[in-house]
Amino acid sequence: MKPLEVIHSSMEKRVLVELKGGREYRGILEGYDHPHLNLILKNAEEYVNGEKKREIEKVIVRGDNIIYISP
Amino acid sequence: MKPLEVIHSSMEKRVLVELKGGREYRGILEGYDHPHLNLILKNAEEYVNGEKKREIEKVIVRGDNIIYISP
Amino acid sequence: MKPLEVIHSSMEKRVLVELKGGREYRGILEGYDHPHLNLILKNAEEYVNGEKKREIEKVIVRGDNIIYISP
Amino acid sequence: MKPLEVIHSSMEKRVLVELKGGREYRGILEGYDHPHLNLILKNAEEYVNGEKKREIEKVIVRGDNIIYISP
Amino acid sequence: MKPLEVIHSSMEKRVLVELKGGREYRGILEGYDHPHLNLILKNAEEYVNGEKKREIEKVIVRGDNIIYISP
Amino acid sequence: MKPLEVIHSSMEKRVLVELKGGREYRGILEGYDHPHLNLILKNAEEYVNGEKKREIEKVIVRGDNIIYISP
Amino acid sequence: MKPLEVIHSSMEKRVLVELKGGREYRGILEGYDHPHLNLILKNAEEYVNGEKKREIEKVIVRGDNIIYISP
């Protein structure tokens, strides 16, 4: 299985995205691109160092800050 | 949906751009390029660590400092 | 022997993945891509600075944060 | 509009260039290249953490340190 | 002589690999790839800031964290 | 005008090269390459945080550490 | 003159290689590659923050950590 297939099969589902610098986004995966792994999240929540900071209706997260994506 | 389409559909609308190092820009998206994701913002406000620092009539933000873009 | 062959022969086996910033993931390798070395881990455990933080059913770890992979 | 067009239309005009590490350059844009966005500034002033440090007759700023360019 | 030839001639021999962040691995070189310089080490010892931390039977070290390799 | 032309026209002249990490080199530009912007300086002086550290007869400065070059 | 020519003409001669993170290597240049600028040094001495740490018979220094090379 390829990482991209896992991402593709997570479309329209809730994912957790951990970024560098203690940031985490949880939201519904609405899209992605390849090979950058930029992601579109809908109804997202932003956590900084484990604390909830914002709710964001739609957000494009740049792939190169991502540590991991969990479907 | 591709991240680029979301960016394209945000043209002439207000976006929030979060950069590394605690910087945030809010302004009207006037342009972008691909694949760098450099952005042009008009009537922008710069926030550093949550505090408003400057108003900038027009600004080109380099894509590689961007963490996320929120339409 | 090529590093990729070692990764390939670790498929469906438990691996330890050490990332920058004191993070470590242990889980079953379900997939990878080339040349990015993005990995899919199943039944993963996340350690931060040697302390267990989370169990994650499935996780895609971006290759560019990896320091080493141990089969 | 493309970011490069904004840069091009700023030729021979005063621009503000914000770099990583608290540095800022203000000067007349005399040239640039693509895709690196290296810039030539004339009659430039260097600010570090908001404080004026030097006047520099001509300076080539490497593009990969740039956070934003403001015409 | 090319660096790659030195690496090739170190196959099946003990090497010392110094990484960023005060890490060092000593082990038998079982493989490498080009141009990434990812390495496979067997019977490896991990040192962090000069202190021995672990023994690792097999480890793939990503090339981009390497400072130097000593045969 | 292109940044490279300014560099070319500085050949055999004194330039100031500011690097990341508070380093500065002043010397006569003897050569450069493209697109890396590696530079050769002759009769160079090294400054660290504004203090003169060494005189170096000839030095090749890697381009990717450069913040700016001033002819 | 190109930086690579200076490196080539330093073959079999003593060079000083300054790396990021306060490291310095002095040794006889036995080889290099292009465009990475990985270097082979023989009879090398390692200095960390100006203090001599080790003697290393042969060492391959990865080019991307190099700040400057002085023949």
pLDDT tens by residue, E10-59: 999 999 999 998 999 999 999 999 989 999 999 999 999 999 999 999 99
CA atoms within 13 A on the CB side of F45: 9
Q: Label residues D34-53 b or e (16+ Cβ within 10 Å = b).
A: eeebbbbbbebebbeeeeee
Which residues make Cβ contacts (< 8 Å) with residue C51, sequence separation at least 6?
none
Q: Best mutation site among C29, C48, C60, C61 for testing chain A: the one with the most A CBs within 10 Å?
A: C60
Cβ neighbours of G38 in E, within 8 Å: 3, 37
d(C-alpha E7, C-alpha G26), whole Å: 20
Domains of chain B, each with CATH number or no CATH: 3-70 (2.30.30.100)
Q: Which band of pLDDT confidence, cut at 50, 70 and 90, is reported for residue F41?
A: very high
Q: Mean per-residue pLDDT for C28-50? A: 96
Is residue B57 within 8 Å of residue D64, measured between CB atoms? no
Q: What is the pLDDT of residue C50?
A: 92
Cβ neighbours of G33 in E, within 8 Å: 2-4
Q: What is the pLDDT of residue C30?
A: 98
d(C-alpha A32, C-alpha A24), whole Å: 17
How many inter-chain contacts (E to G, CB under 8 Å) are there?
A: 49
Q: What is the pLDDT of residue C20?
A: 93
Q: What is the pLDDT of residue D61?
A: 97
What percentage of chain B reaches a pLDDT higher than 70?
A: 100
**Is-cis flag, bond preceding A3, omega within 30?**
no
Cross-strand bridge partners of residue D60:
D40, F69
Q: Do C62 and A70 touch (CB under 8 A)?
A: no
Q: Mean per-residue pLDDT for G12-35? A: 96
Those chains having 3 or more beta-carbon pairs within 8 angstroms of chain G are E, F
Q: Which band of pLDDT confidence, cut at 50, 70 and 90, is reported for residue A59?
A: very high
Q: Mean per-residue pLDDT for A51-67? A: 96
Q: What is the pLDDT of residue D30?
A: 98
Q: Which band of pLDDT confidence, cut at 50, 70 and 90, is reported for residue G53?
A: very high
Cross-strand bridge partners of residue F41:
F29, F59
Q: Which chain A residue is nearest to residue B20, measuring alpha carbons?
A: A21
Is residue A62 within 8 Å of residue B37, measured between CB atoms? yes
Q: Which band of pLDDT confidence, cut at 50, 70 and 90, is reported for residue D32?
A: very high
Mean pLDDT of chain A: 96
d(C-alpha F69, C-alpha F6), whole Å: 10
Whether the complex's predicted ipTM surpasses the cut of 0.85: yes
What percentage of chain D reaches a pLDDT higher than 90?
A: 96
Q: Which band of pLDDT confidence, cut at 50, 70 and 90, is reported for residue C13?
A: very high
Mean pLDDT of chain D: 96
Q: Mean per-residue pLDDT for A30-56? A: 96
Q: Do B61 and D71 touch (CB under 8 A)?
A: no
- The shortest CB-CB distance from G71 to any of F32, F39, F58 is to F58
Q: What is the pLDDT of residue A16?
A: 97
Q: Which chain B residue is nearest to residue D68, measuring alpha carbons?
A: B61
Q: What is the pLDDT of residue F37?
A: 95
Cβ neighbours of E61 in C, within 8 Å: 67-68
What percentage of chain F reaches a pLDDT higher than 90?
A: 96
Q: What is the pLDDT of residue B36?
A: 92
User: What are A27-39's pLDDT values in tens digits?
Assistant: 999 999 998 999 9
Is residue B29 within 8 Å of residue B7, measured between CB atoms? yes
